[in-house]
Every structure is written in C-alpha cells, then in structure tokens.
C-alpha cells in the first residue's frame, strides 16, 4: 500500500484523503483540529458550492445534505448607486442550470473527518511545521500540503507574474444570521456591487441550527463599505458592522435583514488576505519535494465564490494523478504535472477574480446588457459553476465588446424580471 501524507483538514485535504482511502492508499491526515473543535469553532466561509462540485461530492457519498440545504437557483446582481441612492441603478438575476448549495463547513468538515477515521484513515492531531514535514516525509511516499493560506503556504515560492496584488484587496466581514425575510427572488446567491467600494453578498446556508442567511461584506480598504472594528471584536460587533455597511450601501438587502440576529454565538468572521499563486512544489531543507494543493498554492479572494469549489476540483485532479501514476515515483515532475492539470482550470478563476476585484468598465457594460438580455444574465450565473468559458466573452474588453455587439445584433431585448426559486 502506498503511503500518502495529507497536511490540512479543510475541504481540499479531506476530500483528497477520503478519495485516496477509497482507492486503497494508506493515508495519514495531519490537522490540529478534531471534529468537535471544528463544530465548536467560528464560521469559516460562505462555501457556496455549484453543480460540478456538488456532483463530485455526491459521487463520493460526501454530500448527504440535499434534503436540508436550500437549492440556490440563481445569481442576482445589483449595482448600488455610488452616491447612496435607495434603489439599485441596475438589477438582474441569472438562472443556474443546476442549483448550488451551501453547507456550513462546521458541519461538513467534521462529517468528513468522522468518515475518514471510520474508513481506517490515521489522523495526527497537530499543527505541522517544516521540521514535522521532514520527519513525517521520511515515512511517506508523497506529502501533500493542503493547509490553506496561512503558515505552511510560505514554503511555496510566490509566482509574482501570476500574483499582481501585494495587499488584501478586500476587508471581509461575514455573519450568519437568523430572522431575515426571504430574498424576494427566491433562494439566490445575491451580489450587490458598490462601485469602487466593494460588494455585499447574501445566500442561504444550512448551518448548525438549520437554515440561515450568510451576509458577507467585501470592502475596499479605506472605502465607504469598510468598518473599523476594534482588535478582537466579538461576533456581535462584526454583525453590527455588517448591518451598518449593508444599511448604508445596499438598503434593499437591509430591508429584509433589519430583524437579523446572529445564527449562533460564533457565526461571524472578519479578515482579509492577499490573493496569491505559488510554485506547486516546495523543497524541505533535506531536499524532499512536497506538493501544494488548493488555497495553499492558488488563493483567490472570495469575490467569485470559487475557493471551496476549486478545493474539491483540486482533490479530484490530484487523486486521479496519484492513481494514474500507479507504482511510478511521486517525484517533482509528477507533482508539477499534477498541478499543471489543476492550473488548467484554476487559472480561469484567478483571471476572473482579478477582473471582479478591479471592476473594469466593460464589466459594468456587460451587467447593463444582462439586465435586458436574459441569455447574458444566465450565462453570467452559470460561470460560477464553470468559469472556463469567461475567457470568450467576459474577461477581456475586446471580447466583451464583440460579444455585446453580437447580442445586440441577434437578440431581442428582454427584461429579467422572472423570479427564480
């Protein structure tokens, strides 16, 4: 049995560890947290998963929440009046071909950890440093680092040409709330863009105590959406900051959130991080190569709601690469090839995230088109499920212009006022 070490018990590490166990590998997972720690901990993400990621999870028996997590039928986009008007200047909703769903990672990760240990996986409860990796690597044929954006990701050199940002592009405040009125368009991933200032997202989430709403404020630093919370601010203060920003800049969302209260005492998060693409292989001090996965080596801002989807894709791509390698060596060239297969998809998300963070003029023009052309609205919504087609019409100004001209020539104007549920 080939011995694989997976460092990090987030969605990427756990999905890879479980996938390899099912293929009869001997898998050790290193993670400081056990299932109960994660359940008792703070909110981690909004983790909206789209069709392909959900299908992958179901295929492996890892998504038992279809009957409880609301089916998110579309993506709504509203653009706020930068001067603070009470109505959006623009509004459309695109339909998703397959519903998306969000299950609190505080439920999903413990469930997957339990499955892992029940299926015979070994869980080492610790936070690994580079010396640990070196010691553990001696007993394993392959080390995969799935430790997210912090600590160990620094072992993997930055690819500066793929990492244009040198600071966090958004300051994040997230709260899960109860007591909100339903979105008038049904269960949607709702996105309000505040030009030059950031975004407000809402979506329904299946969380610890049932269904609630996640409200995420993504504020440009120093801009009007940002709220300066004290160091060590508690969940209640984060919620107050979220509601204050939403009331001032997305009043149509605030209307339904006015009675909102925290879904549980740890249902809030704040922070921010610099998007980064790193080398896929790090060398430990004795020269041993280790393979980085998901956020450890490709971290995008949550503005496109893709990181957990990509974590699942990366787990699938790496599992296949490992299995296809048969008895062959897990050397540096294997690692680079595995990452290259992942990057073929991940690069679209990185390019899209950059466009959404910087908001070039053509994006606002595409939104205006989507408001009166349902096909464009639907195409935008489905890009969350598969961003690879965005290169043909969304990412570059020239292609966007050509697309808009094609639509104007070919399609009759239609408004997108059909509710999606």
Q: Residue 360 CB, nearest distance to ligand FAD (Å)?
A: 23
Q: Residue 111 CB, nearest distance to ligand FAD (Å)?
A: 14
Q: Assess 306 for contact with ligand FAD (CB under 6 A).
A: yes
Q: Assess 307 for contact with ligand FAD (CB under 6 A).
A: yes
Q: Which of residues 1-20 bind ligand FAD (CB under 6 A)?
A: 7-13
* 129 token code pair: 């440093």
Query: Could you tell me which stretch among 31-39, 226-234, 260-268, 278-286 binds ligand FAD (CB under 6 A)?
Result: 31-39
Q: Assess 76 for contact with ligand FAD (CB under 6 A).
A: no
Q: Residue 58 CB, nearest distance to ligand FAD (Å)?
A: 16
| x-or-dash string of contact with ligand FAD, 181-220, rule CB under 6 A | -----------------------------------x----
- In sequence order, the 6+-apart residues with CB closer than 8 A to the CB of 204 are 70, 72, 102, 187, 211, 212, 213, 214
Q: How far apart are alpha carbons 21 and 385 in whole angstroms?
A: 27
Nearest Cα neighbor of 299 from 288, 314, 321 is: 314
Q: How far apart are alpha carbons 362 and 369 in whole angstroms?
A: 10
Using the rule CB under 6 A, which residue among 4, 17, 27, 30 binds ligand FAD? 30
Using the rule CB under 6 A, which residue among 28, 46, 374, 416 binds ligand FAD? 46
Using the rule CB under 6 A, which residue among 172, 188, 239, 351 binds ligand FAD? 172
Q: Assess 147 for contact with ligand FAD (CB under 6 A).
A: yes
Q: Is the dihedral of CA 144, 341, 288, 326 positive or negative?
A: positive
Q: Assess 45 for contact with ligand FAD (CB under 6 A).
A: yes
Q: Assess 302 for contact with ligand FAD (CB under 6 A).
A: yes
Query: Could you tell me which stretch among 42-50, 86-94, 274-282, 368-376 binds ligand FAD (CB under 6 A)?
Result: 42-50
Query: Could you tell me which stretch among 255-263, 306-314, 329-337, 356-364 binds ligand FAD (CB under 6 A)?
Result: 306-314
Q: How far apart are alpha carbons 8 and 147 in whole angstroms?
A: 4
Residue whose CB is less far from ligand FAD, 277 or 400 = 277
Q: Residue 317 CB, nearest distance to ligand FAD (Å)?
A: 13
Residue whose CB is less far from ligand FAD, 109 or 366 = 109
Radius of gyration of the chain (CA): 21
- In sequence order, the 6+-apart residues with CB closer than 8 A to the CB of 389 are 379, 383
Q: Assess 385 for contact with ligand FAD (CB under 6 A).
A: no
Residue whose CB is less far from ligand FAD, 274 or 401 = 274
Contact status, residue 43 vs residue 268, Cβ threshold 8 Å: yes
- How big is the site for ligand FAD, counted in residues (CB under 6 A)? 36
Q: Provide the binding-site residues for ligand FAD, judged by CB under 6 A.
A: 7-13, 30-33, 45-48, 127-128, 146-148, 150-152, 172, 174, 216, 269, 294-295, 302, 305-309, 311
């Amino acid at each position: 049995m080939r011995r694989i070490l997976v460092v990090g018990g987030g969605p990427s590490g756990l999905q890879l560890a479980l996938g390899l166990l099912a293929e009869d590998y001997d898998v050790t997972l290193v993670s400081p947290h056990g299932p109960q720690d994660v359940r008792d901990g703070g909110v981690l993400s909004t983790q909206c998963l789209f069709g392909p990621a959900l299908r992958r999870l179901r295929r492996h028996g890892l998504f038992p929440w279809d009957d409880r997590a609301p089916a998110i039928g579309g993506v709504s986009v509203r653009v706020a009046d930068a001067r603070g008007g009470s109505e959006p200047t623009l509004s459309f909703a695109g339909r998703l071909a397959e519903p998306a769903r969000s299950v609190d990672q505080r439920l999903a990760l413990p469930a997957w950890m339990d499955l892992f240990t029940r299926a015979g996986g070994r869980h080492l409860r610790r936070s690994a440093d580079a010396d640990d990796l070196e010691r553990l690597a001696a007993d394993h044929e392959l080390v995969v680092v799935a430790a997210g954006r912090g600590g160990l990701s620094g072992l993997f050199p930055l690819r500066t040409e793929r990492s244009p940002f040198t600071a966090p592009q958004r300051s994040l405040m997230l709260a899960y709330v109860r007591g909100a009125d339903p979105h008038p368009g049904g269960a949607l991933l709702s996105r309000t863009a505040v030009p030059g200032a950031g975004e407000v997202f809402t979506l329904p989430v299946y969380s610890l105590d049932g269904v609630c709403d996640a409200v995420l404020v993504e504020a440009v630093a120093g801009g009007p959406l940002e709220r300066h919370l004290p160091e060590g601010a508690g969940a209640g203060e984060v919620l107050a900051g979220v509601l204050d920003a939403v009331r001032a800049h997305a009043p149509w969302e605030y209307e339904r959130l006015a009675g909102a209260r925290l879904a549980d005492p740890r249902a809030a998060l704040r922070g921010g991080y610099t998007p980064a693409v790193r080398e896929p292989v790090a060398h430990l001090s004795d020269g041993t190569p280790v393979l980085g996965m998901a956020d450890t080596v490709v971290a995008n801002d949550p503005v496109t709601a893709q990181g957990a989807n990509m974590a699942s894709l990366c787990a699938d791509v790496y599992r296949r690469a490992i299995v296809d390698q048969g008895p062959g060596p897990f050397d540096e060239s294997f690692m680079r090839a595995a990452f290259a297969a992942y990057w073929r998809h991940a690069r679209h998300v990185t390019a899209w995230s950059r466009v959404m963070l910087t908001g070039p003029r053509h994006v606002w023009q595409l939104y205006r088109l989507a408001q009166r052309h349902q096909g464009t609205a639907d195409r935008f919504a489905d890009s969350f499920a598969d961003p690879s087609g965005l290169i043909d019409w969304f990412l570059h100004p020239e292609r966007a212009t050509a697309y808009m001209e094609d639509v104007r020539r070919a399609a009759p104007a239609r408004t997108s006022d059909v509710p999606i549920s």
